[in-house]
């Protein structure tokens, strides 16, 4: 097995583990192909089980022969291992480094993981496009499923099955694909049952500097409009950026060619800007100095909350177009795989009660992120501690989760899931034993045969025992559109994720528990009362029967 070569020292005794809010633990450190394990041999001290793929960066330093390895994880946790012996320490450090940066996906843990639970429902088949389509096909006959991309030939980042206007045939789709970035022709993202308006998404049109046009493209998106109605195109780039894109062959829809559409530019940042923002934010959160002002200015300088505000604002605008203006929209940025998906998915959280349920939210992630081709593998390769400046990393998905948390905070009773559910998704997007977030799109996942070779995250999450951890006790189905506030005063830092390892959550956890108890006790009483009422009713009817012959 290849891993053995990478593990120079599989085991070291007398290693001391330091973690925030826990006493130091001494024990034996073991390295396996996928885990770093520390066991103390004392009965009730906790063990450390860390996936190598969760390691973002390591530092090492020496004081005499005592080596210290500081491990910075993708979930922002920082742990410290004191390892006696310089050689052992160096060996461990280089092994961890090698094991946490395996270049072959098929060597990753999901391909080796064997579930310890019985799979009741295979998550790989929980959210099939056909089933999702059925949810609104009863309300409209204007849309159809197209299998034009079955072999991923038309658009490598699209799934095999997409929803398109009924009046547009596959031949036209092929033509439109050549006019859109990455072959991402406009497809249906969301159908608003209340008024039949839709959200579509795509890549940017390849107009270039000479204003190329594509009749099929115009026909396709016009096909989604009702007679005499107008639609909106939300470009997630500023007008400036969109104009610059023309020089590289990209561009935006010209009014002259799309007279029934109005274009709105919203500026949502991309790639390294977001990555830098995350790096700065986490650095600020880890800064333990006494100065209050420095904290606020560092928080400000990270721009993280600015990004949150921008993304949420764009999503609210999209939702407002649909629900208030009764207008359909097309959303795209450049590729249509990042900010576009943030906006389409958040708009659905606002508009669609189903996407606020656990099942519906999973379906949303499956549809709008995984199948829509958000490149998870690239974006989540590194997290806040990465020092190699690679081009493709960006916390796009984390920003989305943060925005969901912001809405959840403003509407604490309207979501079936709780904060832990969002944190869990964040963790698994960056390091997981499940195959769900591997690969950059359906095509890659197909080639990797993930469905056959790995377990789906949903298979595990959707077991009743696990679900209970993620269920919001306050949930009450709310069929309304929920309009969040995007004022800075309404958008605080998501402490549950960014300060998770920097403050004790004991008292907050106790409060959560208390909340659950209050509600559980109420339900219990309700059940008891119902039983007694029934008993009483039965007795009384019996009574009545005895009386009347």
Partner 1 sequence: LEHIHRVSPKKAALGTLYLTATHVIFVENSPDTRKETWILHSQISTIEKQATTATGCPLLIRCKNFQIIQLIIPQERDCHDVYISLIRLARPVKYEELYCFSFNPMLDKEEREQGWVLIDLSEEYKRMGLPNHYWQLSDVNRDYRVCDSYPTELYVPRSATAHIIVGSSKFRSRRRFPVLSYYYKDNHASICRSSQPLSGFSARCLEDEQMLQAIRKANPGSDFVYVVDTRPKLNAMANRAAGKGYENEDNYSNIKFQFIGIENIHVMRNSLQKMLEVCELKSPSMSDFLWGLENSGWLRHIKAIMDAGIFIAKAVSEEGVSVLVHCSDGWDRTAQVCSVASLLLDPHYRTLKGFMVLIEKDWISFGHKFNHRYGNLDGDPKEISPVIDQFIECVWQLMEQFPCAFEFNERFLIHIQHHIYSCQFGNFLCNSQKERRELKIQERTYSLWAHLWKNRADYLNPLFRADHSQTQGTLHLPTAPCNFMYKFWSGMYNRFEKGMQPRQSVTDYLMAVKEETQQLEEELEALEERLEKIQKVQLNCTKVKSKQSEPSKHSGFSTSDNSIANTPQDYSGNMKSFPSRSPSQGDEDSALILTQDNLKSSDPDLSANSDQESGVEDLSCRSPSGGEHAPSEDSGKDRDSDEAVFLTA
Q: Which of residues 319-358 bind partner 1 (CB under 8 A)?
A: 319-321, 323-325, 327
The three-class DSSP label of residue 197 is strand
Nearest approach in angstroms of CB 135 to partner 1 is 17
List 411, 417, 421, 426, residue binding partner 1 (CB under 8 A): 411
Closest C-alpha among 177, 136, 176 to residue 155: 177
The smaller minimum CB distance to partner 1, of residues 376 and 498, is found at 498
- Which residue stretch of 38-46, 86-94, 178-186, 310-318 sits at the interface with partner 1 (rule: CB under 8 A)? 310-318
Is residue 541 part of the contact set for partner 1 (CB under 8 A)? no
What lies within 8 Å, CB to CB, of 80 at 6+ separation is: 17, 18, 19, 68, 69, 70, 71
**Binding-site member from 39, 80, 378, 502 for partner 1 (CB under 8 A):** 502
Under a CB-based contact definition with an 8 Å cutoff, are residues 381 and 392 in contact? yes
CB of 138 to partner 1, least distance (A): 18
Among 306, 357, 420, 451, binds partner 1 (CB under 8 A): 306
> Is 232 strand, coil or helix?
strand
3-class secondary-structure state, position 462? coil
Q: Is 224 in the site for partner 1 (CB under 8 A)?
A: no
Whether the Cβ atoms of residue 266 and residue 255 lie closer than 8 Å to each other: no
For residue 49, the minimal CB distance to partner 1 (Å) is 26
Q: Is 452 exposed, middle or buried (0-12, 13-18, 19+ CB in 10 A)?
A: exposed
Q: Select from 104, 391, 504, 549 the one that contacts partner 1 (CB under 8 A).
A: 504
543 binds partner 1 (CB under 8 A): yes
Q: By CB under 8 A, is residue 549 in contact with partner 1?
A: no
Cβ nearer to partner 1, comparing 24 with 477: 477
Q: What is each CA distance from 171 to 156, 175, 178, 220, in whole angstroms?
A: 17, 7, 11, 12
Out of 106, 178, 291, 390, point to the residue binding partner 1 (CB under 8 A). 291
Binders of partner 1 among residues 505 to 524 (CB under 8 A) are 507-508, 510-511, 514-515, 518-519, 521-522
Euclidean distance between CA atoms 27 and 38, whole angstroms: 6
Nearest distance from residue 16's CB to partner 1, in Å?
20
Q: How far is the CB of 236 from partner 1 (least distance, A)?
A: 13
DSSP assignments along 395-433, one per residue: -HHHHHHHHHHHHHHHSTTS-SB-HHHHHHHHHHHHS-S
Interface residue with partner 1 among 39, 243, 410, 463 (CB under 8 A) is 410
Of the two residues 388 and 546, which places its CB atom closer to partner 1 in the complex?
546
Q: Could you give the 3-state DSSP secondary structure of residue 8?
A: coil
* Residue 127 CB, nearest approach to partner 1 (Å): 25
Burial class (CB in 10 A: 0-12, 13-18, 19+), 298: middle
CA 132 to chain centroid, in Å, comes to 19
Question: Applying CB under 8 A, does 256 fall inside the site for partner 1?
Answer: no
Stretch 441-480: interaction string toward partner 1, x if CB under 8 A: ---------------------------------x-xxxxx
Shortest Cβ distance from residue 87 to partner 1 (Å)? 35
Quote the CA–CA distance of 142 and 161 in Å, as a whole number. 17
CA–CA gap between residue 169 and residue 368 (Å, rounded):
23
Interface residues for partner 1 in 184-223 (CB under 8 A)? 194
Question: Is the C-alpha dihedral spanning 313, 368, 281, 49 positive or negative?
Answer: positive
Interaction between residue 229 and partner 1 (CB under 8 A): no
Is residue 234 at the binding interface for partner 1, with CB under 8 A as the rule? no
Q: Please report where in the chains the tokens 């939210």 appear, as a residue.
A: 361
What are 455's two structure tokens?
A: 């377990």
Q: Does 289 bind partner 1 (CB under 8 A)?
A: yes
Asked if residues 395 and 379 have their Cβ atoms less than 8 Å apart, the reply is yes
Q: What are phi and psi of 512, to 5 degrees?
A: -60, -45
- Judged by CB under 8 A, the stretch of 10-18, 167-175, 177-185, 290-298 that binds partner 1 is 290-298
CA pseudo-torsion sign 509, 513, 516, 518:
negative
Distance from C-alpha of 475 to C-alpha of 353, rounded to nearest angstrom: 12
Residue 250 in tokens:
């990209």
Q: Write the Ramachandran bin of 2: left for phi over 0, alpha for psi from -120 to 50, otherwise beta.
A: alpha
For residue 328, the minimal CB distance to partner 1 (Å) is 13
> Considering only 64-72, 105-113, 153-161, 483-491, which stretch makes contact with partner 1 by CB under 8 A?
483-491
Q: Look-up: residue for tokens 């470009």?
A: 235
228 belongs to the binding site for partner 1 (CB under 8 A): no
Among 491, 494, 497, 501, binds partner 1 (CB under 8 A): 491
| Residues within window 119-158 making contact with partner 1, judged by CB under 8 A | none
**Which of residues 107 and 474 has its CB atom nearest to partner 1 in the complex?**
474
Closest C-alpha to 234, from 211, 215, 261, 269: 261
Tell me the two tokens of residue 276. 């830098």
- Interatomic CA distance for residues 227 and 221, integer angstroms: 13
Residues 267-286, one symbol each (x = binds partner 1 by CB under 8 A, - = not), give ------------------x-
* 415-119-450 Cα angle (round to 5): 90
529 binds partner 1 (CB under 8 A): yes
- Please say which residue, 21 or 49, places its beta carbon nearer to partner 1: 21
Kindly state the smallest distance separating residue 493's Cβ from partner 1, in Å.
7
Of 185, 179, 305, give the one whose Cα is nearest residue 250.
179
Q: Is 44 in the site for partner 1 (CB under 8 A)?
A: no
Report if residue 260 touches partner 1, rule: CB under 8 A. no
Site string for partner 1, 390-409 (x = CB under 8 A): -------------------x
288 binds partner 1 (CB under 8 A): yes
CB of 303 to partner 1, least distance (A): 8
- Choice between 144 and 230, CB closer to partner 1: 230
């Amino acid at each position: 097995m290849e891993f053995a070569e990478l593990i120079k020292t599989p085991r070291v005794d007398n290693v001391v583990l330091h973690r925030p809010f826990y006493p130091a633990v001494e024990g034996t450190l073991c390295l396996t192909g996928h885990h770093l394990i520390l066991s103390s041999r004392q009965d009730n001290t906790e063990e450390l089980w860390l996936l190598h793929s969760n390691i973002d960066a390591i530092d090492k330093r020496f004081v005499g022969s005592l080596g210290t390895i500081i491990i910075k994880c993708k979930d922002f946790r920082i742990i410290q291992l004191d390892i006696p012996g310089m050689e052992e320490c160096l060996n461990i450090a280089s092994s961890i480094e090698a094991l946490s940066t395996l270049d072959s996906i098929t060597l990753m843990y999901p391909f080796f993981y064997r579930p310890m639970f019985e799979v009741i429902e295979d998550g790989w088949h929980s959210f099939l496009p056909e089933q999702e389509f059925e949810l609104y096909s009863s309300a409209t006959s204007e849309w159809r499923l197209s299998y034009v991309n079955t072999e991923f030939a038309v658009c490598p980042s699209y799934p095999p099955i997409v929803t398109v206007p009924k009046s547009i045939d596959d031949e036209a789709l092929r033509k439109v694909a050549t006019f859109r970035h990455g072959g991402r022709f406009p497809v249906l993202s969301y159908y608003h049952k209340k008024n039949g308006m839709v959200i579509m998404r795509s890549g940017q049109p390849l107009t270039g500097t000479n204003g190329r046009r594509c009749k099929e493209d115009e026909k396709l998106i016009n096909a989604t409009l009702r007679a005499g109605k107008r639609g909106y195109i939300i470009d997630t780039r500023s007008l400036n950026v969109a104009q610059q894109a023309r020089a590289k062959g990209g561009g935006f829809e010209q009014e002259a060619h799309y007279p029934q559409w109005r274009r709105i530019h919203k500026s949502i940042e991309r790639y390294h800007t977001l990555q830098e923002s995350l790096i700065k934010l986490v650095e600020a959160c880890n800064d333990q100095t006494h100065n209050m002002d420095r904290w606020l200015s560092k928080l400000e300088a990270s721009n993280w909350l600015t990004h949150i505000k921008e993304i949420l604002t764009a999503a609210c605008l999209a939702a407002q177009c649909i629900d208030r203006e009764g207008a359909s929209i097309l959303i795209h940025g450049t590729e249509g795989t990042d900010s576009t998906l943030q906006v389409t998915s958040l708009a659905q959280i606002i508009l669609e009660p189903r996407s606020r349920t656990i099942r519906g939210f999973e379906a949303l992630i499956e549809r709008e992120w995984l199948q829509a081709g958000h490149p998870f593998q690239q974006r989540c390769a590194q997290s806040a501690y990465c020092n190699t400046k690679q081009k493709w990393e960006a916390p796009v998905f984390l920003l989305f989760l943060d925005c969901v948390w912001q809405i959840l905070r403003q509407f604490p009773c309207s979501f079936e899931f709780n904060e832990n559910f969002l944190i869990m998704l964040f963790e698994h997007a960056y390091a997981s034993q499940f195959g769900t977030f591997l690969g950059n799109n359906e095509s890659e996942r197909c080639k990797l045969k993930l469905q056959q070779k790995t377990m789906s995250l949903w298979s595990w999450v959707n077991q009743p025992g696990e679900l209970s951890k993620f269920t919001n006790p306050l949930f009450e189905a709310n069929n309304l559109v929920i309009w969040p506030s995007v004022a800075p005063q309404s958008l605080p830092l998501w402490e549950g994720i960014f300060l998770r390892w920097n403050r004790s959550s004991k008292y907050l956890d106790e409060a959560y528990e208390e909340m659950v108890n209050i509600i559980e006790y109420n339900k219990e009483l309700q059940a008891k009362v119902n039983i007694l009422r029934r008993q009483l009713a039965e007795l009384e009817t019996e009574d009545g029967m005895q009386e009347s012959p």
